[in-house]
Amino acid sequence: MFQWTLLSTIAITELRRRWRALTSNTVQLVASVVVLVVFLPFSLVGLAGVFFFGAAIGSGEIETPLEWIQMAFVYGWIGVAGLGGYRAYSIALRPDNADGLLTTVSHRELVGGLVVAELLLWGVPAVVFGAAVSLVFAIGLGSPLATPFILLTICVVLVTALVTGFIVALAVRNSGVRSKFLTRIRTVLLAGAAIAYLWLIVTQNLVSVFDPIYQVLSPTPVGWYGDLATIGTKVDGSALRAGGSLVISGVLLAAAIPVLYRLAEWLWYADGVSIEHDRSVERTESRRSRLTGIVPAPLLGVIQVDWKRARRAPVMLSFTLYPLIILIGPITTAVQTGTVGRSLPLWVLLSGIWITGSLFALNILGAEGATLPVTLLGAVPGRALVGGHAVASALLGTPITVGAVIVLVILSPHQSTALVTFSFSALILAAGSGFIATGIGTVFPRFEAVSVSRSTKAIVPSKTAFAVYSVVILLVTLPTILGHSAIVSHWLTSVFGVHEIVINAAGAIFSALLVVLFGSISTYIAIHRVESYRFE
């Protein structure tokens, strides 16, 4: 039997748990405070914009005010539904110790408590800010009595959109749990979604996504919320559509309750599908590896294990996406202008080298996990472990880095002769970056797993290893960057009276020498640290 007291207890407990999780993570807490501080001035600017928008409607400057108001509420509904669905999929529907909770309370009370917790978490601040928006907009319109109706519209939009997001998230998760095909291609789907998301950011073409959704929703009761918000104002809205939006919203919310219950039941009580890997096939593939006879057997075993881990759990390598932060700006500029500048190949070169070295070699001790004792009992554990991880990174990342750099150099204003020096640098630096990472990773290892997503933990390199590795990679890449920089290369050409290709070649060779130097030192340190490692 459904009990409202249990639902409220679950919601309050979930809010307390999230608060404790936030306060226990200093970095996340500081980031949240910074976001809040940054949001305050923008919220004031937003209120000012709402006031002037209302004043423009009240004075008759806007010819079709109802369409603008409907557009604001439709896009607001889409945004809340999208954000709510994402949070439901990744956070809200993954409570701690869900199996234990389901032995104590029913799935109805659990999903109801989670929905209420999410409504309280975002609804309270949204209603407070929405009240300010409603009052300011009504004053701008010259109709202060319209404030309650505007606030009512905001609340209805928030609740209906959030519940819709939960339903969509539950449907998506049920599809993944019950479909072997979707489970197999989950990584491909997530990668495709990530690429599409980055492409939208780079191209800034959000209209192509949201405009079709707006065209579908605007004739529906979602678009009628604009009429509800205009009650008591001079805007000529439809009272019939306003009333209809409330009635239909109530009916949909009432129908959504059993749908939420049913989807939650299917999700949490489902056995789920599992993908069995054919071990005999894997062993056959291992024996027939193309690297057999080329790479020594101890190294080959480490390489194959790294690649299998990456294929089965790619989320463990999510930290390699960090360089995308610095690449978004240059790539966005290239896409918007339609031309590749001189700096983009250099940014891609630096990022590709960083990613290649960090793939498997930046935490070789911690990545072994529970198999580390067995690994250290091998005949030459140091050379096999260090060389295997470094070569695994190089074989996977070097071709991609070199190929991307070559394509971008061809499309850029760089001279054709620079293609040779760029290719040489990309090849040598990417191939050697893994060896540089090995020593740093063994000096600053990490053995404990950390959260890489809401439901996944993995052993990733330590923050200190990331910082030191980034500095060293920048240092060894700097001669190549300076040698191919327009300002520096032209200045050196005028000073020494040599051709630009000489400066390009000098930078590439100097970087190669630094990679050999740092790579040799780092490899020696890594082998020594591995072979002298002792368990406490």
> Are residues 341 and 233 part of one domain?
no
Asked whether residue 301 is assigned to any structural domain, the reply reads yes
pLDDT band at 314 (very low <50, low <70, confident <90, very high): confident
DSSP structure class, residue 321: G
> Are residues 303 and 258 part of one domain?
no
> Are residues 400 and 333 part of one domain?
yes
Q: Measured between alpha carbons, how far is 33 from 19 in angstroms, rounded to an integer?
A: 13
What does the DSSP assignment read for 446-477?
A: --S-EESSSS-EE----HHHHHHHHHHHHHHH
> Are residues 348 and 391 part of one domain?
yes
What per-residue confidence (pLDDT) applies to 232? 83
pLDDT at 513 over 90: yes
> Are residues 63 and 123 part of one domain?
yes
> Are residues 472 and 331 part of one domain?
yes
Q: Is 516 exposed, middle or buried (0-12, 13-18, 19+ CB in 10 A)?
A: middle
Residue 54 phi/psi, 5° resolution?
-65, -40
Which residue range(s) make up the domain with 511? 297-532
Asked whether residue 398 is assigned to any structural domain, the reply reads yes
pLDDT band at 283 (very low <50, low <70, confident <90, very high): very low
Asked whether 82 and 165 are in contact (CB, 8 A), the reply is yes
Q: Measured between alpha carbons, how far is 170 from 150 in angstroms, rounded to an integer?
A: 30
Which residue, 428, 408, 418, 437, is CA-closest to 499?
418
Asked whether residue 289 is assigned to any structural domain, the reply reads no
pLDDT digits (tens, 9 = 90+) for 229-255: 888 888 888 889 999 999 999 999 999
> Are residues 184 and 316 part of one domain?
no
Asked whether residue 277 is assigned to any structural domain, the reply reads no
Asked whether residue 75 is assigned to any structural domain, the reply reads yes
Asked whether residue 21 is assigned to any structural domain, the reply reads no
Q: Which of 23-27, 367-371, 408-412, 460-464 has the lowest mean pLDDT?
A: 367-371
pLDDT digits (tens, 9 = 90+) for 108-131: 889 999 999 999 988 888 889 899
How many alpha carbons lie under 13 Å from residue 312 in its C-beta half-sphere? 13
Asked whether residue 218 is assigned to any structural domain, the reply reads yes
What per-residue confidence (pLDDT) applies to 97? 80
> Are residues 482 and 334 part of one domain?
yes
Residue where the block lists tokens 């990456």: 310
- Average pLDDT, whole number, for the chain? 83
> Are residues 167 and 93 part of one domain?
yes
> Are residues 369 and 437 part of one domain?
yes
pLDDT digits (tens, 9 = 90+) for 160-210: 999 999 999 999 888 877 777 776 666 677 777 777 776 776 666 677 778
How many degrees, rounded to 5, is the angle at CA 459 between CA 454 and CA 461?
Answer: 115
Number of domains into which the chain is organized = 2
Asked whether residue 417 is assigned to any structural domain, the reply reads yes
Q: Is 388 helix (H, G, I), strand (E, B) or coil?
A: helix
> Are residues 387 and 450 part of one domain?
yes
> Are residues 307 and 203 part of one domain?
no
DSSP structure class, residue 88: I
